[in-house]
Amino acid sequence: MPYIAVKAYPKDEETKRKVAEEINQVFLKYWGCPPQAISISMEEVEPAEWETKVRTPEILPRVDKMLILDGEKKF
């Protein structure tokens, strides 16, 4: 707890590490959990595959759980 899975277009390793570290710091600051409790994964998805591999099977069925959807805050 928590497990954060990021799916995004491909980026270089340095960028992925920086993003993971920022996410880690946010959860340490706001979630109140110990560092040992945080797990973060990063999966690259090619732009041409985004719709079929991520949006349709993972995002659209969970629209009611999205806090930000297509750049728009839902809270």
Q: What is the mean pLDDT of residues 6-25?
A: 98
- The whole domain housing 16 covers 1-44
| Entry pTM | 0.89
Q: Each residue of 17-70: pLDDT tens digit?
A: 999 999 999 999 999 999 999 999 999 999 999 999 999 999 999 999 999 999
Q: How many CB atoms lie within 10 A of CB 65?
A: 9
In CATH, what number is assigned to the domain containing residue 29?
Answer: 3.30.429.10
The per-residue pLDDT for 45 is 98
Is the domain of 40 the same as that of 11?
yes
Q: Could you tell me if 33 and 69 lie in one domain?
A: no
Looking at the structure, tell me whether residues 4 and 39 fall in a common domain.
Answer: yes
Q: How many domains does the chain have?
A: 2
Beta strands in 12-64 (DSSP E): 39-44
